DNA sequence: TGGCATT
């Protein structure tokens, strides 16, 4: 039953709308929402029915008697052509009570044919009514051992569950998520409020997710995004350079690192800065801890790094820069780079102030500059494409790193940028607390080969950022016993 | 110390 409050709201909304219609159009060619003189009320879970196969000579007053025998009618509207006003042979019907609608549907749908029609009358919930999606929940972060009954028990106190399905892979194993369909939207909403983020299932990596399931449209978009993600397109780098450009860029950076890696310490941030300094010729000879030779490097110390000349535009090197919009001559002034926090090492003064600090200045402002940089990309692409989160893939054994003590403001993108100089990053993930949406300051990076991972550990483990030093080590295998 | 998922 509708509560008084609901009824009053309904009455206010519908009554008001109807009056306005009447005034504006002069004629109430739609309908009157109430068949009675009293305030119209309908149940909050009332169903709007679509009535099809109605003879065009029947209007609302002719139809009412036919439907009133199943209950009090709240609203009955014959559909008319927007421009010609012609009867379209169908109508919408809402009973005050949900029960009446169900009775009418059972009694009439496909059960009789009105005079002059070839096909039986159609009585069914209108398309605009929930096809289930607005009362169906997606539940994530379940324990993979939980079965349908477990999920039901968790959700049953918020309403009547019409459907409960655990999503399973081809092998029958739970994917750790489920669909739960309630009989009403309100029940589903109540479950979200009570359960989303409320607990973390044993063995789950994050707290319970409870949200409305994707609509058909959203599902289509999701599928397209997944496809796009698998093809490696539509990520910011690929957008700017094309797939090949992105690849070339990574290769170039790797080469850059390799070429200087043995001689002196080169932070990845320095590599960035270097790459961004289009006119910078040399970046070798920097002070710092010696770097253990890794698989990548064979060039002796002290050589000149390759001049970076093939950057196609001043927009960005790695997808995000603090560069201002392109200048008329296509060049960003060096000063602007500095004010935007990308401080390349002065090529001719390798002993200048602590390069790590400089690098961090770059890191911080780099993160801060991201929104601006994205705006800039948007300028370059009149239809700004959605940024599609990359698919998280595990690298081969020995290729997956655990990184701790990340700056709070680092996201997946910044993490990837930081490790790109060491090789092909196939995945980067910063952990985010679902409740607060704040980074937990640790994350994962996966490379496609162990050499890159080792190179990254060598250079980045202990990398000082502010008061903290990064901890970079191989990710613990999943089945590893916790040390004590 | 992930793999975050959409019938």
Residue at minimum CA to C1' distance from nucleotide B7 = A167
Determine whether the distance from the CB of A297 to the nearest atom of strand B is below 7 Å. Answer: no
Chain B bases near protein Cβ (<7 Å): 1-7
| Strand B and A135 CB separated by under 7 Å | no
pTM: 0.54
Domain residue spans of chain A: 48-127, 130-219, 400-474
Give residue A227's pLDDT: 82
Q: Is the CB of A112 under 7 A from strand B?
A: no
Q: CA A91, CA A88: separation in Å to the nearest integer?
A: 8
Residue A152 CB lies within 7 Å of the nucleic strand B: no
A192 touches strand B (CB under 7 A): no
Neighbours of A403 (CB within 10 A): 27
| Angstrom distance, A179 CA to B7 C1' | 8
Residue nearest B3, CA–C1′ metric: A392
CATH architecture, domain A130-219? 2-Layer Sandwich (3.30)
Q: Which long-range contacts (CB under 8 A, 24 or more apart) does A173-178 make?
A: A173/A144, A174/A142, A174/A144, A174/A145, A174/A146, A174/A147, A175/A144, A176/A140, A176/A141, A176/A142, A176/A143, A176/A144, A176/A204, A177/A138, A177/A139, A177/A140, A177/A141, A177/A142, A177/A209, A178/A138, A178/A139, A178/A142, A178/A148, A178/A151
Question: Hey, do A48-127 and A400-474 end up sharing a CATH topology, with the first three levels equal?
Answer: yes
Q: What is the CATH number of domain A48-127?
A: 3.30.70.330
Say yes or no: Cβ of A182 under 7 A from any atom of strand B. no
Q: Which of residues 83-102 of A touch strand B (CB under 7 A)?
A: none
State the Cα–Cα distance between residues A254 and A422, nearest whole angstrom. Answer: 6
Query: Taking the C1' atom of B6, which residue's CA lies nearest?
Result: A214
- Whole-number pLDDT of residue A393: 82
Which nucleotide has its C1' atom closest to residue A212's CA? B6
The pair of three-digit structure tokens given for residue A48, joined into one six-digit string: 């709007």
Which CATH architecture fits A400-474? 2-Layer Sandwich (3.30)
Per-residue confidence (pLDDT) for residue A389, from 0 to 100 = 64
Measured in degrees and rounded to the nearest 5, phi and psi for residue A348 equal -95, 0
Contact A161, A180 (CB under 8 A): yes
State which residues of chain A have pLDDT below 50: 1-37, 233-362, 364-382, 384-386, 483-484
């Amino acid at each position: 039953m509708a509560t008084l409050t609901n009824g009053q709201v309904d009455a206010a909304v519908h009554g008001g709308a109807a009056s306005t219609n009447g005034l504006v159009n002069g004629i109430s060619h739609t309908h009157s929402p109430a068949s009675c003189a009293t305030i119209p009320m309908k149940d909050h879970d009332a169903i709007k029915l679509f009535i099809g196969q109605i003879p065009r000579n029947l209007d609302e007053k002719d139809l009412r008697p036919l439907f009133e025998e199943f209950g009090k009618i709240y609203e009955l509207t014959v559909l008319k052509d927007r421009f010609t006003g012609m009867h379209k042979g169908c109508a919408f019907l809402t009973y005050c009570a949900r029960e009446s609608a169900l009775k009418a549907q059972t009694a009439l749908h496909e059960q009789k044919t009105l005079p002059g029609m070839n096909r039986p009358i159609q009585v069914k919930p209108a398309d605009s009514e929930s096809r289930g999606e607005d009362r169906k929940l997606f539940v994530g972060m379940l324990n993979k051992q939980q079965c349908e009954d477990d999920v039901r028990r968790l959700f049953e106190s918020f309403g009547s569950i019409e459907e409960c399905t655990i999503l399973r892979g081809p092998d029958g194993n739970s994917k750790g998520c489920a669909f739960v369909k309630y009989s009403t939207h309100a029940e589903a909403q109540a479950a979200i409020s009570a359960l989303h983020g409320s607990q973390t299932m044993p063995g789950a990596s994050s707290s319970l997710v409870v949200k409305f399931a994707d609509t058909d449209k959203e599902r289509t978009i999701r599928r397209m995004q997944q496809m796009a993600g698998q093809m490696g397109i539509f990520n910011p780098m690929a957008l700017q350079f094309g797939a090949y450009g992105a690849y070339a860029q990574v290769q170039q950076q790797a080469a850059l690192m390799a070429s200087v890696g043995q001689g002196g310490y080169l932070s990845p941030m320095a590599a960035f800065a270097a790459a961004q300094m289009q006119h910078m010729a040399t970046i070798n000879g920097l002070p710092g801890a010696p770097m253990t030779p890794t698989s990548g490097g064979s060039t002796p110390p002290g050589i000149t790094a390759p001049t970076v000349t093939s950057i196609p535009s001043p927009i960005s090197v790695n997808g995000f820069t603090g560069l201002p919009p392109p200048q008329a001559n296509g060049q960003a002034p060096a000063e602007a780079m500095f004010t935007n926090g990308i401080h390349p090492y002065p090529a001719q003064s390798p002993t200048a102030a602590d390069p790590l600090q400089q690098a961090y200045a770059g890191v911080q402002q780099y993160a801060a500059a991201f929104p601006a940089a994205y705006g800039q990309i948007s300028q370059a692409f009149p239809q700004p494409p959605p940024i599609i989160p990359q698919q998280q893939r595990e690298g081969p054994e020995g290729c997956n790193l655990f990184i701790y003590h990340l700056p709070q403001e680092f996201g997946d993108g910044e993490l990837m940028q930081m490790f790109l100089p060491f090789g092909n990053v196939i995945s980067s993930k910063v952990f985010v607390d679902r409740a607060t949406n704040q980074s937990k300051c640790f994350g994962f990076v996966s490379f496609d080969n162990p050499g890159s991972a080792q190179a990254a550990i060598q250079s980045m483990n202990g990398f000082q950022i502010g008061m903290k030093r990064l901890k970079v080590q191989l990710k613990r295998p999943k089945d590893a016993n916790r040390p004590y």
